[in-house]
Amino acid sequence: MRSWEIQRVKFWVVFANIVGLIIASIAAVILFYTFVQATTIGIEGVTNTVWSLIFAISAFAIAANIAACSFIINFTKKSDDATFSNNRYILVLFSLSSGGIFTPFILMRMPNVDVRTSINPKIVVSKGYGIIALSSAIVGFATFTIFNAATSNLSNLGSLEGTQSTALITSMAIFGVFLFWGILNCALFIGKTVDETSTEVSGFRNFIAIINFVIATITLIWIIINSISTIISAISDTFNRRSGFLSTMFNSMLLGLRIAMQMFIIYTAWHCIKGIWSKKGEFEYGQYQRLSDKQAEYQGRF
């Protein structure tokens, strides 16, 4: 691709993730407002412990999304054209993992090219996972603690039983694992002594990086399975007579677009898996054109 074309792609990637940051910030404001309402006047029928877990998990998810968008923006802005083009699957990985689809759509429309990555994906992926895990875990723990302190509920946590106790222990264990994993990855893969262009990662760092690749692969496989499930659901909606004639007709008209969208996600996730496990970062990036064709078809129809 010519330089100006890559610059245009980089602009839209940054723009898409700024929009993601704005949406996440709005969600954070709504969460904070609900938080204040719950701590000041309470919400009938729900215990403080349940609310604290809901707020903590929601804050955790929002923080993870903000961290992922920030990582993508930072990577895009500081990378030269060659680094950006040759390592786009790393951005796709973080975008898909946080629920984004616009960034992968932009990146996967770039031409099919055989490339060799100019940075070590083990280091960059581990660094990104470290930042996301650490920041989201800290926010989750902080939200949980602040809410319980504000509602004078800290002293009651030790007396919980049954489902609430199980939910509390499970949530805190998950936050603890994320916190530990974030600290470990940040300690190993962030710093002036870490060279992203290094071709080799050995010893304990390589072991941790492989685990991060396994986590990424599991995440992408889950995304693929979810997309397949969505396709099956879309097809079944078309034959659902209970939804009425107009609804069935509308679902039938959009069926092709919905399937194309999910096929794009499957295609992109599979290319991400190929990218992170490729030998020395060498593989062919694919261009997915079917979704664009379907969008043009439906825009003309409506």
For the CA atoms of 199, 202, 207, 212, the dihedral, rounded to the nearest 10 degrees, stands at -20
Q: What is the pLDDT of residue 302?
A: 46
Q: What is the pLDDT of residue 49?
A: 73
Q: What is the pLDDT of residue 158?
A: 61
Which residues, given as ranges, of the chain have pLDDT below 70?
A: 1-2, 39-48, 108-118, 151-162, 164, 195-200, 240-253, 280-302
CA distance 138 to 144: 10
Q: Taking a C-beta distance cutoff of 8 angstroms, is the pair 55, 153 a contact?
A: no
CA distance 301 to 297: 6
Side-chain-facing half-sphere of 233: CA atoms under 13 Å: 8
Residue 43 has which token pair?
A: 């919400």
Q: What is the pLDDT of residues 29-64, one digit of tens each?
A: 998 888 777 766 655 555 667 788 888 899 999 999
CA distance 135 to 209: 19
Residue 187 has which token pair?
A: 């300690």
Q: Taking a C-beta distance cutoff of 8 angstroms, is the pair 268, 92 a contact?
A: yes
Q: Taking a C-beta distance cutoff of 8 angstroms, is the pair 185, 216 a contact?
A: no
Number of domains in the chain: 1
| Domain interval for residue 265 | 3-301
3-class SS letters over 162-229: HHHHHHHHHHHHHHHHHHHHHHHHHHHHCCCCCCCCCCCCCHHHHHHHHHHHHHHHHHHHHHHHHHHH
How many other β-carbons are positioned within 10 Å of the β-carbon of residue 209? 23
The pTM of this model reads: 0.79
The rounded Cα 60 to chain-centroid distance in angstroms is 12
Q: What is the pLDDT of residue 298?
A: 47
